[in-house]
Amino acid sequence: MSTVPTSRSRPDTTARTPVPASPALPAAAPPPGQFKALAKGMTKELVRDPMALFFSVVFPVLLAGLFVAIMQLTWAGGPYKIAVVGSGTQAAQLRDALGDGSKVAAVDSPRDAREGVDAVIAPSADGDSLRVVTDPESPSVVSAVRDALPQTGWEGRNLDAVGTDGSPPFEPMPFVLPGVLVFALMSLALSATAGTLVSLRANGTLRLLRTTPARPQAILTSLLPARGALGLALLAVAGAIATVLGLLTPLSGLTMLLTTVLGMWLLMSVGFLLGGTLRSPELTNAISGLLTPLLLMGSGVLFPLELMPDGLADVLSWNPVALLGDALRHDVTGGVTRHAQWLDWLLIAATAALLTVVAVRAFRWDTEKKS
């Protein structure tokens, strides 16, 4: 009688069958175009934040309009009393060009100018420029003369203006435009960058992105394209206004672009430092709201440092934001500056590099307190 083999008596062929070894899976490579996708997402995040856009774009423009209106109302205007060194023909042309009842007289030398004149104009020996010595209480005469030049025989001449006390005459628009641009870039760095970074850390978005194949450097730098584009748009608006007002030449427009790029590097490093270390959006907004007016008031960006005591003004003129405003005023006609532009650029770049290193080392990917 045949017997049926039980399961115990069956040969275990499965155990003897060799199983090929699974090849090791390659490490996950970053997907192509990851930076582009991240930058697109961060741009949407910025566009969806109306408060950041308001304080970065709208508020600085409104503030600029307010400052211009105040300065125009309080700034001395014509008619003027002007002495012109040279022929009576040029004096007559200038008087006709001013057209506001100003009295323009020709004199043989600056010494012959009468007391109480608002300005003495003397052409240079080569005739390429005009030296304008103004009464410190009538600085607006410089703008009036500059606007009248196209209607006189001095068209194309440069103005070398100085007050009778040796100080450069104050002009509101060359002062306000760079200041407003600095304010807008500062708002972009603090409100639209530091605040956004803290929010992304607090809600866990950055921590979640770190679990993806995206590189950490790509995650952080993806915030820059939208903000860089917005900063350049602000520069374009300021540059267009300055060009229309005759305060900007093509060459100075290029140097203003370089100054703006350095300024954005400086201010963005501050934004990343605050955004990468602070733990709550509320605290970030409070610090940004306090830091902005302090920097603006203490750097001569919106109010001239000359209004402060000389010793204090000299010290404050070396802070990085003051250097940025000073560098931008080199680029506009009539801007009053304190330092050489190359020195402004050097110190801004050095400060920005130092702050960048500190921001990278101090950055935290979330807001949880380390135990």
d(CA 49, CA 200): 13
How remote is the C-alpha of 20 from its chain's centroid?
63
When the pLDDT of each residue in the chain is averaged and rounded to a whole number, the result is 79
Q: Count of CB atoms within 10 A of residue 212's CB?
A: 13
Look up tokens 């100075």; give the residue.
252
Q: Which range, of 2-11, 134-143, 258-267, 285-294, averages the lowest pLDDT?
A: 2-11
- pLDDT, average across residues 212-229: 82
344 or 113: which carries more pLDDT confidence?
Answer: 344
Closest by Cα among 126, 141, 119, 127 to 75: 141
String of DSSP letters for 143-171:
HHHHHHGGGSTTTTPEEEEEETTSSPPP-
In this prediction, residue 168 carries a pLDDT of 74
The bridge status of strand 119-123 relative to strand 129-134 is antiparallel
φ, ψ at 121 (rounded to 5°): -110, 125
Specify the pTM: 0.73
How remote is the C-alpha of 205 from its chain's centroid?
29
Condensed to tens digits (0 to 9), the pLDDT of residues 229-279 reads: 888 988 998 888 888 888 888 888 899 999 999 999 999 999 999 988 988
In this prediction, residue 255 carries a pLDDT of 93
In this prediction, residue 267 carries a pLDDT of 94
- pLDDT, average across residues 175-203: 85
Residue 14 has pLDDT above 50, yes or no: no
In this prediction, residue 33 carries a pLDDT of 66
Q: Are residues 319 and 196 in contact, defined by beta-carbon separation less than 8 angstroms? A: no
In this prediction, residue 370 carries a pLDDT of 56
Sheet holding 119-123, edge to edge: 103-107, 81-85, 119-123, 129-134, 158-163
Length of the chain: 371
Q: Are residues 159 and 129 in contact, defined by beta-carbon separation less than 8 angstroms? A: yes
Q: Are residues 46 and 227 in contact, defined by beta-carbon separation less than 8 angstroms? A: yes
Condensed to tens digits (0 to 9), the pLDDT of residues 320-336 reads: 999 999 999 999 877 88
- pLDDT, average across residues 57-77: 70
Give the single-character DSSP code of 124.
-
Q: Which amino acid is at 258?
A: L
- What six digits make up the tokens of 84? 């012109």
In this prediction, residue 54 carries a pLDDT of 77
Confidence of residue 64 (pLDDT cuts 50, 70, 90): low
Q: Which range, of 188-202, 311-325, 331-345, averages the lowest pLDDT?
A: 188-202
d(CA 251, CA 276): 38
81 forms beta bridges with: 103
266 or 83: which carries more pLDDT confidence?
Answer: 266
